[in-house]
């Protein structure tokens, strides 16, 4: 009989040979969906290739940004099954312009170079309301504004009876510097129909992102995973991001976002199950591999993964730990327990514990 150790050794030899061919395909940007599935089914090989690509591309530097997150309203007309944040108008809040400015002032005083602004889909918000927030911040502070998801842009366009391009042009003129690529969830309509039936479709998300890139507004890209989607859906999502980036080169980073199952309908649908650390490692590693040479910044979210989980993810393809945040309400409402703020000192300590070199960056990944 062949021993277990001998079988494992033979498997390793086979994987190594196959891995060398795959590694060359990835470096030449020739990876296919079938290749990605093969890697997902062989995590040992996937993890090795992802870590090698990370080291080859980013070295041992791990970046982070000093920023503040401002969720200006939780009043929302949406019906996303994964959301624990939204409230009706009678139960929710809407920050005044002065309250927003006070938060920005505090953040700038503490060294923030980025202000990230997102909120619910307020029924009375038009493009003028979004522009006022941007204009008032820019009048008072020299800071990068990273704001308003594709869904918020879509909402503003509908309420204002304007096309998406006109809305984006007005936002850019008012001071928008870049956009979060959230509202992506899983870019497969059969999944979106189940988890966010009233949200913009995959094609609409892609159109808004491509238009933003064409107008000179860079964006991030995200994927919320670990609920009802399959591995095939995750790979399809990654290849859509890859195809957009090949065309526009407008993504600054890719952020896998593990689903948070508490206090929401989707969490109840999946029995309160959150994605395991292993699932998270596979997704981060796949992102590194599929997006290699196109979008080389893979972020690990310490809010979603916990600081310890994010630190470990640096061994699975990630090279960035996101921002200090200073405030975070959306993940917290869905059960995140990692807090709302991590100081630069704490982030740097976490990075050094992983044996890496911490560096501050700005939103566009320029080292500071």
Q: Residue 21: what pLDDT?
A: 84
Give the pLDDT band of residue 20 (cuts 50, 70, 90): confident
Coil, helix or strand at residue 224: strand
Cα angle 336, 47, 335 (rounded to 5 degrees) comes to: 5
Answer for the pair 323, 65: CB distance below 8 angstroms, yes or no.
Answer: yes
Q: Residue 11: what pLDDT?
A: 41
Q: Residue 16: what pLDDT?
A: 55
User: What does the mean pLDDT of the chain come to?
Assistant: 92
Is residue 254 assigned to a domain? Answer: yes
Q: Residue 90: what pLDDT?
A: 87
Angle, helices 150-160 vs 127-140, to 10°: value is 120
Is residue 39 assigned to a domain? Answer: no
Query: Is the pLDDT at 330 greater than 70, yes or no?
Result: no
Query: Is the pLDDT at 6 greater than 50, yes or no?
Result: no
pLDDT per position as a tens digit, 295-321: 999 999 999 999 999 999 999 999 999
Answer for the pair 206, 244: CB distance below 8 angstroms, yes or no.
Answer: yes
Is residue 274 assigned to a domain? Answer: yes
pLDDT per position as a tens digit, 169-222: 999 999 999 999 999 999 999 999 999 999 999 999 999 999 999 999 999 999
Least confident of 35-49, 82-96, 334-348: 334-348
pLDDT per position as a tens digit, 83-141: 988 998 889 999 999 999 999 999 999 999 999 999 999 999 999 999 999 999 999 99
Is residue 348 assigned to a domain? Answer: yes
Q: CATH number of the domain at 268, please.
A: 3.20.20.70
Q: Which domain holds residue 228?
A: 59-360
Is residue 214 assigned to a domain? Answer: yes
**What is the mean pLDDT of the segment spanning 62-80?**
96
**What is the mean pLDDT of the segment spanning 49-67?**
97
CA dihedral of residues 339, 253, 46, 16 (deg, nearest 10): -140
Is residue 277 assigned to a domain? Answer: yes
How many domains is the chain partitioned into structurally? 1
Least confident of 11-15, 129-133, 248-252: 11-15
C-alpha 28/C-alpha 35 separation (Å) is 13
332 membership: H or E segment, kind and range: helix 330-333
User: How many other C-beta atoms lie within 10 A of the C-beta of residue 258?
Assistant: 25
Is residue 16 assigned to a domain? Answer: no
117 membership: H or E segment, kind and range: strand 114-118
Q: Based on the number of CB atoms within 10 Å of its own CB, is 5 exposed (0-12), middle (13-18) or buried (19 or more)?
A: exposed
Is residue 84 assigned to a domain? Answer: yes
Please name the residue that has the structure tokens 């002032």: 105
Q: Residue 9: what pLDDT?
A: 43
Query: Is the pLDDT at 349 greater than 80, yes or no?
Result: yes
DSSP 79-90: --TT-SS-B-TT
């Amino acid at each position: 009989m062949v021993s277990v150790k001998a079988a494992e050794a033979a498997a390793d030899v086979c994987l190594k040979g196959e891995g060398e061919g795959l590694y060359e395909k990835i470096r030449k940007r020739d990876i296919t969906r079938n290749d990605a599935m093969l890697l997902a089914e062989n995590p040992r090989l996937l993890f090795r290739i992802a870590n090698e690509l990370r080291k080859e591309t980013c070295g041992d530097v791990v970046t982070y940004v000093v920023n503040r997150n401002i969720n200006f309203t939780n009043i929302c007309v949406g019906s996303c099954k994964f959301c624990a944040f939204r409230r009706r108008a009678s139960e929710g809040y809407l920050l005044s312009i002065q309250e927003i400015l006070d938060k920005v002032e505090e953040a700038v005083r503490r060294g923030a170079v980025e202000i990230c602004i997102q909120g619910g889909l307020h029924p009375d918000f038009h493009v003028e309301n979004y522009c006022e927030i941007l204009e008032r911040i820019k009048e008072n502070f020299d800071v990068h504004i990273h704001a308003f998801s594709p869904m918020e842009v879509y909402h503003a366009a509908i309420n204002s009876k304007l096309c998406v391009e006109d809305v984006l042009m007005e936002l850019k003129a008012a001071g928008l510097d870049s956009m979060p690529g959230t509202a992506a969830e899983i870019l497969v309509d059969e999944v979106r129909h189940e988890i966010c039936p009233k949200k913009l479709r995959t094609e609409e998300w892609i159109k808004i992102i491509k238009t933003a890139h064409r107008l000179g507004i860079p964006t991030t890209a995200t994927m919320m995973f670990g609920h009802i989607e399959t591995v095939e859906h995750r790979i399809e999502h990654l290849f859509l991001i890859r195809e957009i980036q090949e065309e526009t080169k407008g993504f600054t980073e890719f952020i896998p976002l593990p689903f948070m199952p508490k206090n929401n309908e989707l969490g109840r649908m999946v029995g309160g199950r959150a994605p395991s650390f292993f699932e998270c490692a596979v997704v981060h590693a796949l992102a590194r591999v599929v997006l290699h040479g196109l979008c080389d910044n893979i972020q690990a979210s310490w809010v979603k993964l916990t600081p310890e989980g994010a630190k470990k993810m640096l061994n699975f393809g990630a090279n960035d730990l996101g921002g200090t945040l200073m405030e975070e309400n959306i993940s917290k409402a869905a059960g995140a327990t990692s807090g709302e703020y991590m100081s630069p000192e704490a982030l740097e300590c976490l990075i050094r514990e992983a044996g890496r070199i911490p560096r501050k960056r700005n939103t566009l990944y320029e080292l500071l």
